[in-house]
Structure formats: structure tokens, C-alpha cells
Amino acid sequence: MSRIAATARIHPMAVVEDGAVIGENVVVGPFSHVGPHVVLKDGVELVSHAVVTGNTEIGRNSRIFPMAVIGGASQSLHEAGAGSSLTVGDNCTMREGVTMNCGTVGGGGKTVVGDNCLFLANSHVAHDCQLGSDIIMSNNVMLAGHVHVADRAILGGGCAVHQFTRIGRQAFIGGLTAVNYDVIPYGMLNGNPGVLGGLNVVGMTRAGIERSTIHIVRRAFKAIFEGEGNVRNNAAAVRDEYADCKEAMEILDFIAADSDRALSSPFRGKG
């Protein structure tokens, strides 16, 4: 049986299936469809012609625009279906035509999106992706399955991200970029294949990181990617030198972590 708050406003031409949970001050606009296993938390708005389906929870004050399909079954050839879910955090905006898929049993079963994220028209979040908060995905961005995107990353229009790739915190991905390999925190990636062009200095400055700290991170970047050894050995060799710089250590920890993908680099596209 559905649980619909008294303050919810559901258009008579919308469909809310039995079993859905609708919070306070939710608006479900005309021709929208809410599935039986969906939770819309307080203040969510489905503008019109929006579909929320699957085992899906939408966080408070999020907005979903026309023709978006949120919580659809995975497009994976190995989709098992049972028990998979999608969770979207608070204050997220999903513009026209956005698609987000639930997870797969073989991939952990969960697709997760953090708070305060903006998904522009026709962007896609595939099965088992794990997204942080304050992320911007521009028009037509495509995330394949199992992609991890950390907080405050910005993905330019039309970029495509290979499955199992990691994108570090506050990285910037240029429009139409092919993201084949992991992108370090604060990195800037452009091209096809994507080449690491340096640090997202503008983003770091806007985030309040001091100029002196940015200079330290730049030195660490050069030591890692322009040193004589390979990237991972170079990163390991300079850990002690940059132990007092949180941002540099974030990059070093990212490089040291296990991953299914190689690292994007300034040279061959991968390190």
C-alpha cells in the first residue's frame, strides 16, 4: 500500500503505483510515473513526463525534469535484476532526458549518487556507479558501469567514461573527452584519448585552496609525472616529502589505491 503524505500534490494525470512512498510537499507533475518500490523524500518535484522506477530512493528537494528515466533496469548484458537499487541524495537536479540505472547483483547491486549534484540534459549514469556530492555532469555525458566519481568533479559536455574508471575529487574533464583511464584528484583531462594536461588550478582556487598549497601540489605533480621512474614508483618515492600537504597526499593515495584501470598521464594518455 502506498504511503502518500497529506501535503503531497499529485497531478490527476500522473500515475503513482501502489507501494510507493511519497513524502511531504512532493510534487508529481502531469504524465509522470512513480513505480511501486520508489521513495520520494520530502520536497521532491517531478516536473512532468518523468519516470522514477525500480528500487529507487530520491533525496529531499531534488528535481526531475521531463523525459528523465530514473531507476531503470541496468543495460548490462549480465543484468540479474533482483535486489538492485539506486539511491540519489538531497538537492540533486536531473534535467531533461537524464537516465540513471539501478545496480547489478554481480556489481554490488547499488548505484549511488551523493548530494547537490547537477545532471544536465541527456546525461547517463550506468549501473553500479558510485558518485560523490557537488558533481556537475554537462549535457550528454556518459558514464559506463562501475565508474567512481568523487566530490566536486566537473564533466564537460559529451565526454565518455570507460567502465571501472575512477575520477578523483575536483577533477575537470573537458568536453568530448574520452576518459579511458583513472584521473587523479584535481587533474584536468582533455582529448581523445584523454591526456592529463595538469591541475585544475581554477577549481582549486574557487574551492579556497591557498596559492602556496597549489604550488606545492604542482611540484608534487611534476615529481610524479615528469620523474625518471614510472608514475607509481615516483609517487611512492615522494610520499614523505609531501606528507604535510593534504591535497598532495590525496593524489598520492589515489595513485597507490588498487584499480582496474591504468592512470591517465600527460604523455601517452595513461601512466
Convert the pLDDT of each residue in 109-140 to its tens digit. Answer: 999 999 999 999 999 999 999 999 999 999 99
Residue 21 belongs to a domain with what CATH number?
A: 2.160.10.10
Q: Known catalytic residues?
A: 127-128, 145
Position 137 in a domain: yes
> Within this chain, do residues 17 and 124 fall inside the same structural domain, yes or no?
yes
Amino acid at the residue 191? G
Assigned domain for 171 exists: no
What is the residue-wise DSSP string for 206-268?
A: HTT--HHHHHHHHHHHHHHHSSSS-HHHHHHHTTTTTTT-HHHHHHHHHHHS--SS-B--SSS
Indicate the number of domains in the chain.
2
* Residues 25, 54 contacting (CB under 8 angstroms): no
Question: Strand 118-119 to strand 178-179: parallel, antiparallel, or no bridges (unpaired)?
Answer: unpaired
Residue 74: DSSP 8-state: P
pLDDT along the chain (271 residues), means of 10: 93 98 98 98 98 98 99 85 89 99 91 99 98 98 98 98 98 98 98 96 96 98 94 97 98 97 85 68
Give the pLDDT score at 174.
Answer: 98
User: Does 216 fall in a domain?
Assistant: yes
C-alpha cell at 130: 558510485
Give the rounded distance of the alpha carbon of 117 from its chain centre: 8
What residue numbers bound the domain in which 15 lies? 3-146
Position 196 in a domain? no
Number of H-type helices and E-type strands within the chain: 4, 29
